[in-house]
Structures are given as structure tokens and as C-alpha cells.
Amino acid sequence: MTGAPVAIQARPELPLLADECCTQLVRDPISASQAADLAYILKALADPTRLRLVSMVAAHEGGEACVCDLTDPLGLTQPTISHHLKILVDAGIFTRDKRGKWAYYALVPGALNAVSAVLSTAS
């Protein structure tokens, strides 16, 4: 049975990565809370499978992909891929959109740019 798509909200944008306070690590010291937020995001990205998922979903036609599109290329089972995708959604890297029995994932616009800006040494 398929109904209207149900949008699943991603984790709210983390304060460290919000446009108004995108502090570079090398310019201004960050607080303990900001360090914890950034570590949470970096930990989500610090896995070879999750890095491949970010690349595959971002490069996929339309900029979104279903788990069913990712199992064969990764050679992993659906539950394993879903686990990795959940970590990326929880970290604010991906959004999740439920359509019928499938969930489609897309990169949060600007998420990787925000991480890059925090880590940048450019002024």
C-alpha cells in the first residue's frame, strides 16, 4: 500500500555549523559544546562505508538514493546500509524521506560546506 510521501525530519542543524557562528578552529577557540557537536559529525563521517555513501548519494541521479540503490554497489546488506544511513541522518549530513516502504536519502544542502568551513585555515 503506497500513500503520500512522509517526510522524516533530519536532526536540527548543529549550532557550530549554523551560518551565523561558523567559527574556524584555527581562528577562534571553540567551546566544549561546539567541540562535542563537531566531533559527533566528524565521527559520523569517519567511516569508509559512510564516506562512500555520502559520495554515492550525492552523485546519484537527482541527488537522492534509496537503500535499494546502494546495496549492490556496496556489497552490504540492507540492514547494514540502513544503520550507516541512520548515523548520517542523525549527524545532520543526510535527510530521509519515506515513500511507501522505501526511504530516500539526500545530502543536506550545505552540510559538507559547513564542516569544511569550520576546518578551513583560509581567512
Please tell me the pTM assigned to this model: 0.79
The pLDDT value given to residue 106: 97
What is the tens place of the pLDDT at every residue in 30-72?
888 888 988 999 999 999 999 999 999 999 999 999 999 999 9
Of residues 17 and 9, the one with the higher pLDDT is: 17
| Separation of alpha carbons 66 and 115, rounded Å | 24
Contact partners, residue 57, CB within 8 Å, separation at least 6: 63, 64, 65, 70, 94, 105, 106, 107
> What per-residue confidence (pLDDT) applies to 86?
96
Question: Which residues, in sequence order, are CB contacts of 15 under 8 Å at separation 6+?
Answer: 21, 33, 34, 37
Q: What are the angstrom distances between the C-alpha of 36 and each of 8, 18, 60?
A: 25, 15, 31
98-114 confidence digits (pLDDT tens): 999 989 999 999 999 88
The CATH fold assigned to 30-117 is Arc Repressor Mutant, subunit A (1.10.10)
Can you tell me the distance from the alpha carbon of 76 to that of 67, in angstroms, rounded to the nearest whole number?
10
Q: Is the pLDDT at 22 greater than 70, yes or no?
A: no
pLDDT at position 123 is 65
- For the chain, the domains span 30-117
